[in-house]
Structure 1
């Protein structure tokens, strides 16, 4: 099946005049493409360019060397190449950001006398903080990868988009839904409550635990803006007066017969509900967990909004507790194996939000201490075990967490690819590795074998961001990160040319790269031998989905947190980029 918020305002810009030829080649909401040439005045055995802006620039993409972000206003780009006097260093770069700004930019070559301190108008945007080199060599820029993941969730928005929509090829869609807003599931356009709530819970957890990671990455405001889109949807989906929760918008079977833009889709989009006569504590509990986590994340940002989320989470949890059972009306899509894990998660997040011992007691009754297969939209067992250990420090919960990671680490029974990915399943191997990496970073924060868990987690994310051998190595499975990444995700909207050009089944099978770059999306991933094909029709390896990005996204915030704290582990990936 094809499982398929908002960023700050767009960025406008003027050409950057460095010292010779520089001009804007293309521009769009939130970014631009520029090219320039910098004169070389002395022999250089390796060099570092220094770009300075007088206004905030979120991040840049450049392919002549390894970019390094000093701050939102200063970047360096390094290369080991030799240059002679009279040469020029010419390059293209992409700038990303927001706001009606027109910053001045200067570029210099470090250590070179004279030359290259140009002035002029430039434009760029704001974004992730530097945490290392670019996506194609050396250290990874985890902050940049985090910012791009936020863009992916913005690309998934349903409903009427705000004026600051950062995705130029997306527009208003499905505005007549019974519950407007929210995120499309994957490359399709259904809103499925189980993966949606699971995704939102993991994203909210990352904001609660690793807020400083978002701050260091320059992504805190963007994260708040992005995730509020789904919280707003949950608040509309739950009707406490009617004791009814909308758990699905759209018909999966009908939706999957349509290939095109969500903006052009006019089929019927039926709504499905859980209520007193239709059980669905799995989705209701999961949604309560997401809103309770959101109430903590928003407490310092907007206390009134945080309270709305908390009150909705309390009433929805009480409803779920009184109407146990799983939702079966969405078959054959996202069938749940049980509701105890979601109820446990909901109880624990409400305990964290309120301190009410009753919620903790509930969670102790819901928890399953068995060893989880993985962390995903249908199985939150390991998440509940970790939350209980964090709250109680009791050995039984610590033992369950350690048993999970013992089963995931080398020698524990899980398959490892030749380049070192913990490969759980052909459906979304990147997803499961990313989710477990996030959980490992959370467990480390709880004091469970922090050195070992952090090292393993970072190595898994490094594999995803380029420490692999696909396409000659340095291949990022996150779209838009680095210079080599998937160009043909199984995603309808990204396959469509700019409007008003038509889009239909022909675009599914069209050759060449998709017209739109689905920035930040994490594709399903390789097979057990590190093999991967970038083919749009391959919905096994090239699927993208809300839940695919969730743990990966959280792990990125956790790694930037480690960088901010000076606690990055030494890693030893088998296929370093």
Structure 2
């Protein structure tokens, strides 16, 4: 037998290692953690102390200033610095859906804290942007001027013009999607922060009413958005928002809405092969199929079955079981929808089929396709095949999730990633200088933007890792958001670490009463009203003694309180309050309450001391 030369041996070993990794499977938990870091890299505004992406700094701190409104926060869309409302709202809806349907899996992976904080960075911004019942600030930044510059978010010199929707400038698609995002987020937050959940629902209902009453396309009102995120219609978003509001409230009004408008708005008419930031029909159809499979259709069962028939069409097309009317696949097995940033469509579809697989399994049902009855596992297998393709099981052996695996894109079309961090290069990188010195340089990006799903390969699985090849190398919010739920579902559960980090447990650090004091706080919003540009909320907090002993001299610390408070007495210590004289003792099982009024989110209530 002839001996192998060193180079051939190394090549053989490399192939064997790659095959071994593929055979062993991918670490979806690691991919999930990196995906959540991508959202931290996309943050606009004042960054928190626990920011994990250390090469980013504060930015966009005067957004909305010229228009007299606070629009600081939210997410930058992709490799640029525009805050486009429609894809951002879709992103939040997808993050929330993952946190709802795969709550158990995300919690077991100890990622619920990071998942909910990624959600809240978006929902806090949307509530700021919803300044009046019929006003929604829809965009910050000018796509044209932004794309003429290559600079860090921290150095931005481009106009930060803000654009709004109102009665005279409607946008049913964007307002509807934002309503869906806030309604879905209300469900996700409900187990952890009921008052915040209620606040989200209030905004969601107002936005849905606005979207439904004043109809129109948002990009007709905001012409600047048309060349970047053109909307094909708003009927799907109205159905989408109503479906999410029904799931969040169980209010029959919203279920009746999707049934009464099923034909007129295309919910039971459109059979689609795409699910995306623009086209929500497949999402609506599967969301309503879930209600049907849970046995909650009631008098609306007949129409919900029509929705499910169209949901099945989408799922069967993904599985190549749709009597020839299938979604195109690349030779390597990736579903291929569009030339520009195709992976966003594959990630959304994979997530949707993972959700549908779970619902079918729970109902002991199968997918009905023209080519027969398909078990739910086949849907999950499809979702896994797409996730595996993203992570390296493809003809290029390339992970399209930046920072994951041994080989991934190093020239992502992303301004912040491609220019040295402001903490290592403190001098300003100006608009044109960024193109000359950083955009055109052949070296890889100095900052790894972990968890960024790039646009991905073409219809023949070809990919060019070139910073100027934005169709293939630019990551987007809407492409990455479905991965949170998808990777969570696919990862085999692992033992939780000894230091928990779920959102609820993070809140425990801030609110010691949950783990130490024998009281619990029940937050609710009892009234809301608008004065000028500000919406005010009447918050009621019930204090309940959950122990078997009397509690004396209870003192509370209340932070972020900007309005008046009733039912507690202030002490000489800053932000510290005590119970009234007549109620110094809280007996076992008994409760008392206090109220406060302010605009914006709830105050933080913690226990300082008690006897």
- The alignment partner of 2:138 has SS state of strand
| Gap runs ≥5 in structure 1 | 1-64, 67-79, 82-132, 566-577
Find out whether 1:505 has 2:428 as its counterpart: no
Going from structure 1 to structure 2, the CA distance change for 1:415 and 1:367 (only over 3 Å counts) comes to: closer
Higher alpha-carbon Rg:
2
1:71-92 residue CA offsets vs partner (Å, 9 max, x unmatched): xxxxxxxxx99xxxxxxxxxxx
1:383 is matched with 283
The answer to whether the Cα contact below 8 Å between 1:495 and 1:514 also exists between their aligned partners in 2 is yes
Whole-Å Cα distance in 2 between the matches of residues 552 and 383 of structure 1?
A: 15
TM-score normalised by L of structure 2: 0.68
Whole-Å Cα distance in 1 between the matches of residues 246 and 276 of structure 2?
A: 22
1:208 is matched with 100
The answer to whether the Cα contact below 8 Å between 1:440 and 1:454 also exists between their aligned partners in 2 is yes
Find out whether 1:444 has 2:336 as its counterpart: no
2:329 is matched with 416
Going from structure 1 to structure 2, the CA distance change for 1:229 and 1:135 (only over 3 Å counts) comes to: farther
Find out whether 1:320 has 2:211 as its counterpart: yes
1:490 is matched with 413
Give the deviation of 1:284 after TM superposition.
0.3
Whole-Å Cα distance in 2 between the matches of residues 135 and 175 of structure 1?
A: 44
Match of residue 465, structure 1, among 391, 404, 407: 391
Number of matched pairs: 433
What RMSD in Å do the two structures reach over aligned CA positions? 2.2
Give the deviation of 1:301 after TM superposition.
1.0
Going from structure 1 to structure 2, the CA distance change for 1:173 and 1:136 (only over 3 Å counts) comes to: farther
2:239 is matched with 344
Whole-Å Cα distance in 2 between the matches of residues 141 and 502 of structure 1?
A: 39
Find out whether 1:158 has 2:44 as its counterpart: yes
2:267 is matched with 368
Find out whether 1:434 has 2:347 as its counterpart: yes
Match of residue 245, structure 1, among 136, 151, 165: 136
1:459-479 residue CA offsets vs partner (Å, 9 max, x unmatched): 111111111121xx2x21000
Alignment of 1:195-234 (within 5 A): 195-234=87-126
1:248-307 residue CA offsets vs partner (Å, 9 max, x unmatched): 001110111110101000332111111011010100000000000000000011111111
- The alignment partner of 1:515 has SS state of coil
The answer to whether the Cα contact below 8 Å between 2:267 and 2:307 also exists between their aligned partners in 1 is no
2:489 is matched with 558
- The alignment partner of 2:404 has SS state of coil
Find out whether 1:516 has 2:439 as its counterpart: no
The answer to whether the Cα contact below 8 Å between 2:418 and 2:447 also exists between their aligned partners in 1 is yes
Going from structure 1 to structure 2, the CA distance change for 1:405 and 1:347 (only over 3 Å counts) comes to: same
TM-score normalised by L of structure 1: 0.72
Deviates more, 1:401-410 or 1:207-216: 401-410
2:147 is matched with 256
Deviates more, 1:399-408 or 1:485-494: 399-408
Give the deviation of 1:136 after TM superposition.
6.8
Match of residue 226, structure 2, among 331, 336, 340: 331
The answer to whether the Cα contact below 8 Å between 2:26 and 2:388 also exists between their aligned partners in 1 is yes
Find out whether 1:400 has 2:310 as its counterpart: yes
